[in-house]
Structure 1
Amino acid sequence: MAVVGIGVARHRGIDIIANETSNRATPSLVAFGPRQRAIGEAAKTQETSNFANTIGQLKRIVGRTLNDPEIQNVEKKFMNNTLVDVDGSVGVEVKYLGEKQRFSATQLVGAYLAKIRDTAGAELKNSVNDIVIAVPGWYTDIQRRAVLDAAAIANLNVLRLINETTATALGYGITKTDLPDPEATPRHVLFVDVGHSSMSASLVAFSKGQLTVKGTAYDRNLGGRDIDYALVKHFSEEFKTKYKIDVLSNPKAVFRLTAGCEKLKKVLSANSEAPINVESIMNDIDATSKLTREELEGLISELLERIPAPLQKVLEESGLELDQIDSIELTGGSTRIPAVRARIQSVFPGKVLSTTLNQDEAVARGATFACAKLSPVFRVRDFNFTDIATYPIKMTWTPTPTDPDESELEVFPKGNALPSSKILSFHRSEPFDIEAYYSQPEGLPGGINPWIGKFTAKEIPATTNGETPCVKLKSRLNAHGILSFEAAYVEEAVEREEAMDVDSAPPAPEGEAPKKKKVIKKTDVRFVTGTNSLDKSFVEKYKELEGQMEASDKLVTETEDRKNALEEYVYDMRSKVESRYAAFVKAEEKEKLLAALSQAEDWLYSDEGEDATKSAYVSKLDELKVLGDPIYFRWHESENRSRSVAQLRETLNSYMSQATSGEERFSHIDAKDLESVVEKVATVQKWLEDQTIRQTERPKNEPPVLTTDEISKKRDEVIYFATPILTKPKPKIPTSGTQTPKEEPKKEDEGKGPSEMDVD
């Protein structure tokens, strides 16, 4: 199961914050139920009972289509949901609020990002708006745009999409103080990430204050879930013989077996043999078996054989030799498997595999550093990073009679630095189209359409000399890794008279023409573009729908809380009225309260009480508290009265002692004032003794005559009366024949004007 860490910059460092269950990683799951959604930990809790309506693999399906071969042949076997087409992209059909509804993958990612936003906001006690999101480096333009659309649905502003391997490298490099100077040979570090669903390799050159990605390579379908699936197939065959059950024919059984295989895999990472136990896997059968580490390695041998290819490819792309690599850093949970580490080691004999980074949090930490760098709020050590394009991009157009052989150009080759801008020139006098494609579609994930975007020039302004206009088109591969058409304009060289200083320039000879100079004139070209991003109307519709579902979820949660509060009050008060509160309740009160509690309990478990509104639960609880609160008040007063009385007595004794002590420090206070303190203390003491006697004679089940609130008020009354008198300062004695000297200003105050204030 994929999880996401949430990083925040604070306390002069990076914190990975805990979610509502104190976990530092939040499951990337979205679930739908009969009354509300569950996201993250809540979705994981009910996954077993609601697996058909719980959706995972979010980063694998976003930006894909239903007929994508990887969706049909790969992702489908890891999902328990009905996949459908939603507005041209893959989505799911689930049962939500009692009826079948469809949600696109972009909507699901938006819901998950909203959960992440709220988790961070709750920790920071502030709203969260700006974020950096780490995405797989093999994401294409359409997948990256889908993530940005999802963030917009969650009302988040994405400062940057950063590749996961680049985020890891940034988190590694920004904390290093021993990197070589830019003029020296850089330190080359290879980052290998084998995670839940894919493998990534990135070779990075580090110098002081900067990093440059030299090469990347991926296996998009090689991760921990593939190892789990190999175990599922193995045990399903074993259980077919052992228990006469076909696990693969039952989605719920597959889900339970997958969970067991994931646990088994983790145990085998540290042990040579481990058991597997799956209770009630199907047909009320408890399935058990065991596996050795050697057997596991045999089952996943085909997967292990695929590990060297990306590692060798990244070396080729970087142009570096093995002995030029200074360090190999492993991240991703699957690198904990000994067989995976051994296969990586086989590609780099003599090199030490390092795990100095947190294997589960390295990406989140790096993305948080990137976010802090882009924020004006934080001061981050200057550290620049240059990423590269994963796939080459070409532009195509309809050839012209003057250039019949020119119809396409590779503008951004593989490995092109990000961000990067290129300007293309076209001689056109009529409106024209240019389309952008990935030039090597065979290298794209699954069946993703290689089409990226389209530029259409609407009107071409004529030139003054009548020549065919030269249209300049500025295209940009931005920091997100997304292609855009930034500007279009016509350039023309025109002659203009030189501007002259009339006062200083000599007059031109008679009959000679004024001097002219050539200047470049730019005229904007009106154009439109088309991309793979969601139409704004769809984004707004999904944003509104997400807001409605969030409000509905919140209301359901609050209603459930009020229901639980009512239920808790019924059981708690019923128990305490028979024990703790027994001496403080009259017989008729007890009878009436118990009857009301029973009535509320019956209502709670009736059809009406089961699905009542929030206000109904609040109203029922208020009705019970009218009967129960007086009883609780008497008990509470009895429990706390003696402590309040002791505090008041201590205060009275203290002031009486001071007022009658005759000490030198009180000699300047008028005797009448000291006497008034004594009288005040005596009056309150008399009141306290009288009320204490009355309260002692009063039954516990009667309203008290001496309350803690009254005692507290009397104590404050004495303090406010006596303190100004007893703390009255002694008068200053003037020096005879001279004026009282003015107080000299302190040295630190010299030269200061009005107090300064920081203004944001």
Structure 2
Amino acid sequence: MSFAVVGFDVGSLTSFIGAAKGGGVEILANEVSERCTPSCVAFTGKARLLGFVAEQQKVTNAANTVTSFSRLIGKMESDPIVDLERKHNFFSIVADDQGNAAIKVKIDDEPMVLLPEQILAMHLHKLAQIAEYNTKTKVVDVVLSVPSYYTDRERRAFLDASRIAGLNCMRLVNETTAIGLAYGLTKKDLPAVDQPSRNVAFVSLGNSSLQVALVAFNAGKMKVISTACDPCLGGRDFDMCIFDHFVAEIREKYKLDVMSNVKARVRLLKSCEGLKKIMSTNSTEIPLNVECLMEDTDVSSKMKREFFEKICEPLLLRIRKTMVKALHLSKLTPECLYSVELVGGGTRIPAVKRLVKEVFGREGSTTLNADEAVARGCALQAAICSPSFKVREFSIADSCPYSITLQWEPKDEVMEGLEDKDVGEAVRGTSLEIFEHLSVIPASKMVKFYRKGDFTLKASYSHPDGLHIKNPLIGTFRITNIVPTPLEKCCLVRVKVRVNSNGIFTISSAEVMEKVEKEFEVPIEEPKPEAPTAANADGCEMETETQPSEVEGTVEQSLTAGASSGIPGAPPVNQPPTKPKTRMEKRLVRRPRGVPVESVTFHLSHNKLLEFVDFQAKLNQSDAIEQERQDVQNALEAYVYEMRNKLDTCLQQHTTERERNSFNEALTNTEDWIYGEGAEAKKLDLSKRLTTLKKTGDRYYLRFTEAEKRSSAISALTNSCEEVQKVVRNYLAEDPQYAHLSKEEMTRVENTLKGMQQRLNAFVEASKQWSPTTDPTILVEDLYNAQKELESICYPIITKPKPPPPPPKPTAKSGSKAAGGATEDGKGNAASPNPGKPLNVPNGGEAPDSMPATTFAGGEDMDVD
């Protein structure tokens, strides 16, 4: 079974789905043919609404409509960013039993507290349904985008949400990295690896956050040089500036407090968003009109772009500060940039474009789709991760958004008594910044410790002031089973830490390098014997001279002489070299032994995951049942309107006045029941009512359709009967064309034709007696079946082709073939192939073994052996 390869860009306001296909990346449309799906989940009674339908009822059900849930995921309720979200949303944000930010809603009129992970899982399920509908395949593996400023716990929460939704998240991709991938993977003019990089700045101003990244591109690779973010600055903040201005104006002008009415707040905020979009393209004064905002009061006002930019000046200063910071961290100058790419709806504001030009010294480019660039990058990353696609090689070097510090117990008591030389190459102190800000990830590092027993490591972000959450702790990691051997005072522990491709910190492994004794075989060094020397009577060495004749001879003689003379170093004849003597020696070596690591990080426990998965499955099943119920209810409602219209049009002459009045009454009663007691009726009750109505309505409609199709059916059967009758007449007239048909076959044709003509005549006579309001006893379908029966029996017979004529008999000719191609004459003698020309026979009267080729009249050259 094939699976789709998709990437989800989950934004705080809308989401996009990118699917990798053979020709590139396609952005998929939802059930209303929109490429963007609202990031919205709503609860109404027993129903759960997702995406577009949830967003449509936000005004009337604001308290149970959850948006911007990605802003709450992985947060504590006490984080300042959560208080900020309360100002932008209308649902209740509470704390769960562990202090995490949670959402309080009503499901089936019962209050319930859900984690943002559960809400996000519901939204991911909806996106997967849209992808499956478009690709006609199952969606399992996905790539999800996350803001580049997300911390470890927020990234883990995203992975938990994908597991609850039943999806396998192959990769979490930073939004700026996904934009860079969408830009660079399709570029064919990037500089070579050994050439200076092409530096591109990406400015992404979305609905709720600002992200700026500078990326270096070369052929086949990209590297994120620097990033800078403002997690609390987005397009919605510009909307709020307009909203706050008009709230004050309406309070003064109309004496209405918009903040006291949820519906009024939602409607005014939506109008302010539309006003902002219009001012981005028009410099003239734009009117604002909201009908019946509160207390049946219509509200109207105006605003110009200049005034809008003035009240948004603090936001513009923060945007400038973020862009300057990103440029400063990259250590590049504006002249080093190739281009500046604008992404996100907020970059369409003219004041933002001017700031981009001021900071980077060039106009912002819009070559990328501002709304879909992240989804395209996610889809490309999914294609890279999937074995189903072959993507040209493109390496991605991301950057660590925050520096990470590793801490351990100060002056562990188990280390007491160790001398400085015992510690050796292990780390000292109580902390170590293991990953620096903007260091390349994914990356791994090895840290060494000397310990006598188990110890704990704490990983946290080095600079809490630069975070958008209060708690900088990433997790605690307990290294256990540290037991020194008798040969050493303490253990050398090697800990491998890693920031993986998802941007998540882990201690992937830990091992103890134990000292153990191991026996090695070492050679024994023997003293070399001194060579004997010839000496005179005074003890002096005697110098001898060898004559040339004495060294002549064979190799065998030389070896034999050497072996027999006992000269040191001369190898013996036909004997293997002697094995050197060895001895066993014990040495101390280090041997790695893996030890367990107990990790405590901020993610859902296994039991919690199972609980949420089960809850999600129940909601999915409930949604399916409710959808089936609504489908039947909609079908019943549509049937009521359809038949009511037909009674006044096409069915009017085919029903009596009494029938029309009775059926109209039944339709009205059903309509009243649908909008009354039947609004929450079960599927079975709805189906019964629909069946009852159709039993009557279909009978009336059958009269109409039979009357419309009757003449065509009679003509079709009549034409078929006439064609067969014509063949029968020609056969009886002994037409040679049908002489090959047997009498039995034609008898069968005549009997079948006679039966069909009788049926046709009976139908025609009966139809003459029917009025337009009479239920027909013989249907048009019966006539078409009769025509098919006639044609299936008669046509194979009357269209049977004539058999081919027999081949002509051979006629007798003068003479017969003789050997060698010659014919016999009247006397039985072989005739010459060429009359009048004697055969070329050599003297002696015998034919040679071979003869030249002879050409026959009217024939081809033949070789004669």
CA displacement, residues 698-739 of structure 1 (integer Å, 9 cap, x when unaligned): 2333332442332332343344445655376976999999xx
Measure, in 1, the Cα distance between the counterparts of 2:292 and 2:261: 12
What is the Cα deviation at residue 326 of structure 1? 0.7
Pair 124,645 (structure 1): closer, same or farther in 2 beyond 3 Å: farther
The match for 2:184 is: 173
Q: Judge conservation of contact 1:29–1:44 (CA < 8 Å) in 2.
A: yes
Of the three residues 617, 623, 630, the one matched with 1:560 is 630
Measure, in 2, the Cα distance between the counterparts of 1:685 and 1:100: 74
What is the Cα deviation at residue 635 of structure 1? 2.1
Q: Judge conservation of contact 2:60–2:263 (CA < 8 Å) in 1.
A: no
What is the Cα deviation at residue 31 of structure 1? 1.4
Output the amino acid matched with 1:153.
Answer: I
Pair 248,603 (structure 1): closer, same or farther in 2 beyond 3 Å: closer
The match for 2:593 is: 523
Determine if the alignment matches structure 1 residue 437 to structure 2 residue 460: yes
The match for 2:272 is: 261
What is the Cα deviation at residue 245 of structure 1? 2.0
CA displacement, residues 408-462 of structure 1 (integer Å, 9 cap, x when unaligned): 1111212222222222211122111111111111111142x11111111221244
After TM superposition, the score normalised by the length of structure 2 is 0.78
The match for 2:79 is: 68
Specify the SS of the correspondent of 1:306.
helix
The match for 2:766 is: 694
Output the amino acid matched with 1:79.
Answer: N
Measure, in 1, the Cα distance between the counterparts of 2:308 and 2:20: 41
Aligned residue pair count: 728
What is the Cα deviation at residue 330 of structure 1? 0.6
Greater CA deviation, 546-555 or 145-154? 546-555
What is the Cα deviation at residue 391 of structure 1? 0.8
Instruction: Kindly report which structure 2 residues correspond to 1:164-313, keeping only aligned pairs within 5 A, or say none.
Output: 164-272=175-283, 273-313=285-325
Measure, in 1, the Cα distance between the counterparts of 2:808 and 2:174: 79
Of the three residues 610, 617, 627, the one matched with 1:540 is 610
Output the amino acid matched with 1:708.
Answer: V
The match for 2:21 is: 10
Pair 211,704 (structure 1): closer, same or farther in 2 beyond 3 Å: same
Determine if the alignment matches structure 1 residue 129 to structure 2 residue 140: yes
Greater CA deviation, 459-468 or 621-630? 459-468
Determine if the alignment matches structure 1 residue 80 to structure 2 residue 90: yes
What is the Cα deviation at residue 156 of structure 1? 1.1
Q: Judge conservation of contact 1:470–1:492 (CA < 8 Å) in 2.
A: yes
What is the Cα deviation at residue 225 of structure 1? 0.5
Measure, in 2, the Cα distance between the counterparts of 1:505 and 1:628: 110
Q: Judge conservation of contact 1:659–1:674 (CA < 8 Å) in 2.
A: no
Of the three residues 611, 629, 642, the one matched with 2:680 is 611
Of the three residues 610, 628, 634, the one matched with 2:697 is 628
The match for 1:155 is: 166
Specify the SS of the correspondent of 1:236.
helix
Measure, in 2, the Cα distance between the counterparts of 1:64 and 1:134: 18
Give RMSD over aligned pairs. Answer: 3.1
Determine if the alignment matches structure 1 residue 513 to structure 2 residue 583: yes
Q: Judge conservation of contact 2:453–2:483 (CA < 8 Å) in 1.
A: no
Greater CA deviation, 547-556 or 216-225? 547-556
What is the Cα deviation at residue 646 of structure 1? 4.9
Pair 601,243 (structure 1): closer, same or farther in 2 beyond 3 Å: closer
Measure, in 2, the Cα distance between the counterparts of 1:665 and 1:63: 93
Measure, in 1, the Cα distance between the counterparts of 2:647 and 2:297: 47
Determine if the alignment matches structure 1 residue 315 to structure 2 residue 315: no
Of the three residues 481, 488, 493, the one matched with 1:471 is 493
Output the amino acid matched with 1:437.
Answer: S
Specify the SS of the correspondent of 1:378.
coil
The match for 1:569 is: 639
Instruction: Kindly report which structure 2 residues correspond to 1:535-684, keeping only aligned pairs within 5 A, or say none.
Output: 535-585=605-655, 589-590=659-660, 593-607=663-677, 609-648=678-717, 670=741, 675=746, 679=750, 680=752, 684=756
Measure, in 1, the Cα distance between the counterparts of 2:521 and 2:767: 105
What is the Cα deviation at residue 656 of structure 1? 7.2
Specify the SS of the correspondent of 2:32.
coil
What is the Cα deviation at residue 135 of structure 1? 0.7
Q: Judge conservation of contact 1:508–1:514 (CA < 8 Å) in 2.
A: no
CA displacement, residues 550-587 of structure 1 (integer Å, 9 cap, x when unaligned): 22233223223322322333343344334422333356
Measure, in 2, the Cα distance between the counterparts of 1:416 and 1:736: 99
What is the Cα deviation at residue 591 of structure 1? 5.8
Structure 1 unaligned segments of length 5 or more: list them: 738-760
Specify the SS of the correspondent of 1:95.
strand
What is the Cα deviation at residue 189 of structure 1? 1.3
Output the amino acid matched with 1:468.
Answer: C
Pair 676,498 (structure 1): closer, same or farther in 2 beyond 3 Å: farther
Pair 149,505 (structure 1): closer, same or farther in 2 beyond 3 Å: farther
Measure, in 2, the Cα distance between the counterparts of 1:730 and 1:172: 73
The match for 2:477 is: 455
CA displacement, residues 86-107 of structure 1 (integer Å, 9 cap, x when unaligned): 2431112223322322222111
Q: Judge conservation of contact 2:204–2:347 (CA < 8 Å) in 1.
A: yes
Of the three residues 74, 80, 105, the one matched with 1:94 is 105
Instruction: Kindly report which structure 2 residues correspond to 1:2-81, keeping only aligned pairs within 5 A, or say none.
Output: 2-72=13-83, 74-81=84-91
The match for 1:708 is: 780
Measure, in 2, the Cα distance between the counterparts of 1:333 and 1:468: 59
Output the amino acid matched with 1:277.
Answer: N
The match for 1:328 is: 340
Specify the SS of the correspondent of 1:568.
helix
Output the amino acid matched with 2:615.
Answer: L
Pair 360,6 (structure 1): closer, same or farther in 2 beyond 3 Å: same
The match for 2:434 is: 411
Greater CA deviation, 555-564 or 414-423? 555-564
Measure, in 1, the Cα distance between the counterparts of 2:483 and 2:808: 94
Pair 264,601 (structure 1): closer, same or farther in 2 beyond 3 Å: closer
Specify the SS of the correspondent of 2:583.
coil
After TM superposition, the score normalised by the length of structure 1 is 0.89
Measure, in 2, the Cα distance between the counterparts of 1:100 and 1:191: 43
What is the Cα deviation at residue 170 of structure 1? 0.8
CA displacement, residues 113-150 of structure 1 (integer Å, 9 cap, x when unaligned): 11111121222233311111111000001111111111
Instruction: Kindly report which structure 2 residues correspond to 1:378-389, keeping only aligned pairs within 5 A, or say none.
Output: 378-389=389-400
Output the amino acid matched with 1:315.
Answer: L
Specify the SS of the correspondent of 1:6.
strand
Measure, in 1, the Cα distance between the counterparts of 2:607 and 2:793: 69
Q: Judge conservation of contact 2:485–2:515 (CA < 8 Å) in 1.
A: no
Measure, in 1, the Cα distance between the counterparts of 2:56 and 2:787: 52
Measure, in 2, the Cα distance between the counterparts of 1:429 and 1:528: 18
Greater CA deviation, 131-140 or 515-524? 515-524
Pair 520,723 (structure 1): closer, same or farther in 2 beyond 3 Å: farther
Q: Judge conservation of contact 1:459–1:526 (CA < 8 Å) in 2.
A: yes
Output the amino acid matched with 1:701.
Answer: T
The match for 2:363 is: 352
Measure, in 2, the Cα distance between the counterparts of 1:541 and 1:470: 42
Greater CA deviation, 554-563 or 297-306? 554-563
Measure, in 1, the Cα distance between the counterparts of 2:148 and 2:373: 15
Measure, in 1, the Cα distance between the counterparts of 2:209 and 2:520: 64
Pair 91,714 (structure 1): closer, same or farther in 2 beyond 3 Å: same
